[in-house]
Each structure stands twice: as structure tokens, then as C-alpha cells.
């Protein structure tokens, strides 16, 4: 419980400032939400179409499109998180609006956690938006009788918070926008593609047992498997 003591030390005024800053962020997000929905529609529809209708002709199971839909939900959270990394890095190397937040009656950790929450909400919205897109693309094949909706909502909520915090972590060591590409290719991409995105952990275990256990150190594995 001592590890969570800091949560109980937040005053009502600090919480009020945090909520107001988050409210401001969500108002800004509302201005770009349509464009993000268009991006999600294009990306998710092409991904689901190719994996559901085309890849089975290469010998993959007919259910592979459904498998990739699960990955698409998670990856949308990742994409939104990485877009927030670029925004944060631009601010840290440019206008430094973060200094305004740090100057308010707000603990520094809470000022940065605001970015994680904003990214989490953004990722959750786009992740769930990928579901109706897939329903349209897959048509009558869109059926998941064994899915537990409460468990799925809980899992997605946890994942969104993780990716929000991941965005803050990545931004902390990204020096500038020139280094952003390096971070994508050297950090995010390995986490993503070795995190059971295009295959399940059980398949990886059958193919390379030693690598499968190594991938249990990758938090993306739990997000994709979940």
C-alpha cells in the first residue's frame, strides 16, 4: 500500500487543476477526432480486408482476419500513443508548454500523467472505433460468440493506460524530432512485432520455445494476447 500513498496525497485543488487541464486537452482532441476516425477507418479496413479475404489463400486459417482484428484494436492504441510522443517532443524542444503545467499547483508526476491519460483516452476511442469498421468489412463473418464484453472492456482500459504511460516513457528519452524515427525503428517496432502481433504466443512457443519465453519480458505480448 505504501507504493500507492502518493495517490492519497493529492489535494482537492490539485485534482481540480488536473481535471481542468485534461478537459482542455479533450477539447483540443475533439477538433481532430474526425481526422483520426478517417485514419483508423482506412488503416483498419485495409488490414482486415487483406487478412480476412486474401491471406487464407496463402494457407492461413480463415479465422486469421479475426485474429488480426484483435491486434488492430491494440495497435490503434499504440499509434495514438506514438502520435502523442511526437507532439510531446515537439513541445519539449519548441514552445515548452509543459513548463506552464509544471508551474501550476500540481505535482510534477501528475502534470506528466495528464499526457498519459489523454493518450489513453485517445487510444481507447480509436481502438473501439476499429470494431465497427471491421464489422462492415467482414459482414456476416463478424461473429465472436465467446467474447466476454466486460473482460474485453477491462482489458482495453488497462491497455490504454499502459500505452499512455508508454508514450510518456518514450518521449522522456527522445531528444528531438530527428531522433523520433530512430525510436520508432529501434524501440517501438521491435516491441510491437515481437509482441505476438502477427501470431499468438502459443504458435511462437511451438516455433522457437527459447524466444517465446524471452518475449514474456515484452509488455506488448500481454497486450496482444489479452
Kindly give the parts of the chain with pLDDT less than 50: 1, 3
CB atoms closer than 10 angstroms to residue 12: 7
Q: What's the pTM?
A: 0.86
> What integer pLDDT is reported at residue 206 of this predicted model?
94
End-to-end CA distance of the chain: 26
Please give the pLDDT value at position 192.
Answer: 93
Amino acid at each position: 500500500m505504501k507504493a500507492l500513498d502518493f495517490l492519497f496525497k493529492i489535494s482537492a485543488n490539485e485534482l481540480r487543476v488536473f481535471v481542468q487541464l485534461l478537459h482542455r486537452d479533450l477539447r483540443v482532441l475533439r477538433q481532430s477526432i474526425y481526422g483520426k476516425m478517417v485514419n483508423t477507418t482506412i488503416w483498419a479496413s485495409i488490414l482486415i480486408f487483406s487478412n480476412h479475404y486474401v491471406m487464407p489463400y496463402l494457407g492461413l486459417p480463415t479465422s486469421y482476419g479475426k485474429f488480426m482484428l484483435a491486434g488492430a484494436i491494440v495497435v490503434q492504441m499504440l499509434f495514438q500513443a506514438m502520435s502523442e510522443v511526437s507532439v510531446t517532443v515537439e513541445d519539449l524542444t519548441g514552445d515548452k508548454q509543459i513548463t506552464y503545467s509544471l508551474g501550476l499547483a500540481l505535482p510534477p508526476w501528475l502534470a506528466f500523467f495528464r499526457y498519459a491519460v489523454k493518450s489513453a483516452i485517445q487510444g481507447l476511442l480509436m481502438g473501439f472505433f476499429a470494431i465497427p469498421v471491421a464489422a462492415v468489412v467482414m459482414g456476416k463473418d463478424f461473429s465472436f460468440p465467446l467474447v466476454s464484453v466486460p473482460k474485453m472492456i477491462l482489458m482495453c482500459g488497462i491497455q490504454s493506460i499502459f500505452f499512455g504511460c508508454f508514450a510518456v516513457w518514450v518521449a522522456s528519452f527522445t531528444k528531438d524530432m530527428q531522433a523520433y524515427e530512430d525510436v520508432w525503428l529501434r524501440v517501438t517496432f521491435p516491441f510491437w512485432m515481437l509482441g505476438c502481433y502477427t501470431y499468438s504466443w502459443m504458435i511462437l512457443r511451438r516455433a522457437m520455445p527459447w524466444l517465446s519465453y524471452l518475449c514474456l519480458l515484452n509488455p506488448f505480448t500481454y497486450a496482444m494476447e489479452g
